[in-house]
Each structure stands twice: as structure tokens, then as C-alpha cells.
Amino acid sequence: MQEFGNDSFSGFFVCKLRKVSNGEKAMAAHLQNDQGQRALEMAQLQGLCLSNEEKDYLSKNGTSDGPCAEADFPQNGQLEKGGVGEFSRSNQIPATKSSTGRPRRKKKVSKIYLEAWKVRRYRNVDDVSFLQGFA
């Protein structure tokens, strides 16, 4: 900044901002934590399909027949209590039934997994174009 002493000194500042729409605003609020961001990136990279972690889980429990099987995703009004598609708010994964028909003990999973489920709920929204900016 030695040039500041020179009488020919001149300088300007230009910044271009873009206002974020309501949809993006909602997603931005949802993505305030890193876990939500990672979960969304994970879901988006795979076209809102299952992640490897979820695929592994579902394959071990013998409930998934494909990476994008519609049955794997909870649909509005189609949540089955204790089924694969059930979304639990209590930091627990959906319970499955053992071969004897007895419900398995619910297992603790990471928050990332739960965030992925939250993100996937946007699949039921008609317009998901606002997700594009977060790829």
C-alpha cells in the first residue's frame, strides 16, 4: 500500500451478490451443520438414491432389491410401522423383523444416516430444482 502516498492512487471495490430464493433458504437452514451438508452431497451424488452405507445396511438385513427401489423410500401415507420405510425421529433406524417374526432390536445409527433420510423426503416434493445449487 505504499502507492497510497501517490496522488495518482485510485481503487475501487465491486461485489456481486445473488439473493437466495425461499427453497434454497429452507435448504440452507437445513444444512447449517456439516452433517446435513455431507448427507445432502451424498444423496445428490447418487441421484437421491441409496448411499453405500444404506445399501450395506439394507443388504445385510435382506430388504433391498435395488439401489433405487421405490419400496425402500418412505412415501406419504405409506409408512409402515416398524417397516423399512419408517422414519424415526428418535435417532434409531427402522426396525426389521427376524426370521421368527420377532422384531429386531433397534440399533443406534449416526446422524448422517438420519440426515440422509430427511433429505430423501424431498423426493416427494414436485419441484426439487432448488437442490441444484447445492451439488
* Minimum distance, C-beta of residue 40 to another protein, in the bound complex (Å): 16
Minimum distance, C-beta of residue 36 to another protein, in the bound complex (Å)? 16
Q: Which three cell numbers stand for residue 119?
A: 433429505
Amino acid code (one letter) for 74: P
Euclidean distance between the first and the last CA atom of the chain, given in angstroms as a whole number: 39
Which of the 8 DSSP states describes residue 94? P
Q: Which CB atom, from 5 or from 47, has the smaller least distance to another protein?
A: 5
Contact 39, 27 (CB under 8 A): no
Residue 61, classed as helix, strand or coil, is: coil
Query: Which residues here bind another protein, judged by CB under 8 A?
Result: 3-4, 6-22, 24-25, 28
- Judged by beta carbon, residue 8 or residue 76, the one nearer another protein is 8
Q: CB atoms < 10 A from the CB of 63, how many?
A: 17
Please report, as a single letter, which amino acid is at residue 71: A
Minimum distance of another protein from residue 2's CB (angstroms): 12
In the complex, what is the shortest distance from the CB of residue 24 to another protein, in angstroms, rounded to a whole number?
7
Taking the least distance from each CB to another protein, the nearer of 15 and 99 is 15
The smaller minimum CB distance to another protein, of residues 41 and 86, is found at 41
